[in-house]
Structure 1
Amino acid sequence: MADYDLTVIGGGPGGYVAALRGAQLGARVALVEEKRVGGVCLNEGCIPTKTLARSVELLLDIERAQEFGILVSEPALDFAKMMARKEKVVERLVSGVEALLQARKVELFRGKGRLLAPNKVAVEGRELSTRSIIIATGAEPREPPVPGLDLDGVLTSSEILELEEAPSDLVIVGGGMIGMEFASIFNALGTKVTVIEMLPSLLPPVDEELSR
């Protein structure tokens, strides 16, 4: 008899939701995740950037408070606390996903999953026998062919979320959604931001009128 009815490799939004649904239907489910559950959006994308954007939005509102008849002293920025809040929000949501998995009795295995056979998965030296397997590992971002990517000071969109202080100046290669989101955040924090985009306009997927 197999250890599990279903083993899901990958704990992102596709993987953990599939695991929860399987458990809801009565299956014995194992979930294999190398990092934190929640995937890129929760850990290195949408959630942390929107948390930082909210801090920036509040900063800009305070700076404009006088326009609304509210007198406040000049706001001071604590970048370390802003980043700590970002991490706290992410950790709280990750813990929420883990609690859902635990409540549904989904067994979470930490490590990199490897297929041994159509019904066997290896993770950290342990073999799991399973009736069915779902591969929900997501994808890795492709690095553009730009010389010098390995130089000091060159950051990915994930690494920039781990900065300990706001840079005095920042060059962002790519004027798409992610690039412009970071540009707006760091510009509001006082960083001198330069955006490089090879296409004629910023935010290529949206209407030209909106990108101006």
Structure 2
Amino acid sequence: MTDVVEDFDLVVLGGGSGGYAAALRGAQLGLRTAMIEKHKLGGTCLHNGCIPAKALLHAAEIADQARDAQRFGVMATFESIDMPAVQRYKDETVDSLCKGLTGLVKSRNITYIEGEGRLSSATSVDVNGQRIQGRHVLLATGSVPKSLPGLEIDGNRIISSDHALFLDRVPQSA
């Protein structure tokens, strides 16, 4: 089926906050380390969770401060929220952090493999038609949005946290 391409001390399946932290620590301890990620380095926290949510919340906080500025003796006016510009700010924040993380991983000589990995044994992961062997395999597979029983996430009336990060409008209520 697949040939063993490389042999590592540590193979981390998942490049989110748990996975990259483990890979960085493994490299720091002198382990020959590989990290496999099917989406983007940084996982849910960086791309669909904490970081983009905080960027959006920061923009909302600035809007609130502009509305309340006169209370503090600051003469400012609040006109509106430009959602495309807010989305650009969020995306630029995420992209910048992702590039920094990618550079950090590369600088620590961690072999980064982009692709969907599947555990094939206690000591190997298959990815992109190759078998990556490791003395140790760490599973850090992350998270996905989950719905409640009887509710179907349609991306319109019922949205997941992923959908909320890409809204083109400020919702009336949540």
Q: Same fold (TM over 0.5)?
A: yes
CA separation in 2, counterparts of 1:150 and 1:71?
Answer: 43
**Is the 1:5–1:130 Cα contact (8 Å) retained in structure 2?**
yes
**Is the 1:31–1:108 Cα contact (8 Å) retained in structure 2?**
yes
TM-score under structure 2 normalisation? 0.88
- The alpha carbon displacement at 1:161 in A equals 0.9
Aligned letter for 2:15? G
Residue 123 in structure 1 maps to residue 123 in structure 2: no
Residue 41 in structure 1 maps to residue 21 in structure 2: no
CA separation of 1:8 and 1:144: change in aligned 2, threshold 3 A: same
**Is the 1:32–1:111 Cα contact (8 Å) retained in structure 2?**
yes
Residue 62 in structure 1 maps to residue 66 in structure 2: yes
Aligned letter for 1:26? G
CA separation of 1:17 and 1:149: change in aligned 2, threshold 3 A: closer
Map Cα deviations across residues 79-102 of structure 1 (whole Å, 9 max, x no partner). 101011011111111112111110
Aligned letter for 2:72? F
Aligned letter for 1:123? V
Deviates more, 1:147-156 or 1:121-130: 147-156
Residue 193 in structure 1 maps to residue 173 in structure 2: yes
- The alpha carbon displacement at 1:10 in A equals 0.6
CA separation of 1:151 and 1:57: change in aligned 2, threshold 3 A: closer
CA separation in 2, counterparts of 1:38 and 1:151?
Answer: 24
Query: What residue is the counterpart of 2:165 in the other structure?
Result: 161
CA separation of 1:150 and 1:68: change in aligned 2, threshold 3 A: closer
142, 146, 164: which one pairs with 1:142? 146
- The alpha carbon displacement at 1:152 in A equals 4.8
CA separation in 1, counterparts of 2:154 and 2:77?
Answer: 43
CA separation in 2, counterparts of 1:66 and 1:96?
Answer: 38
Map Cα deviations across residues 139-173 of structure 1 (whole Å, 9 max, x no partner). 3333211244347543211112122x21xxxxxxx
TM-score under structure 1 normalisation? 0.73
CA separation in 2, counterparts of 1:17 and 1:154?
Answer: 33
Residue 98 in structure 1 maps to residue 128 in structure 2: no
Query: What residue is the counterpart of 1:199 in the other structure?
Result: none
CA separation in 2, counterparts of 1:27 and 1:88?
Answer: 33
Q: Structure 1: 5+ residue runs without aligned partners?
A: 167-185, 195-212
CA separation in 2, counterparts of 1:82 and 1:37?
Answer: 23
**Is the 1:59–1:75 Cα contact (8 Å) retained in structure 2?**
no
SS of the residue 2:173 aligns to: strand
Deviates more, 1:67-76 or 1:11-20: 67-76
12, 15, 19: which one pairs with 2:19? 15
SS of the residue 2:134 aligns to: strand
Identity %: 36
Query: What residue is the counterpart of 1:4 in the other structure?
Result: 8
**Is the 2:66–2:77 Cα contact (8 Å) retained in structure 1?**
no
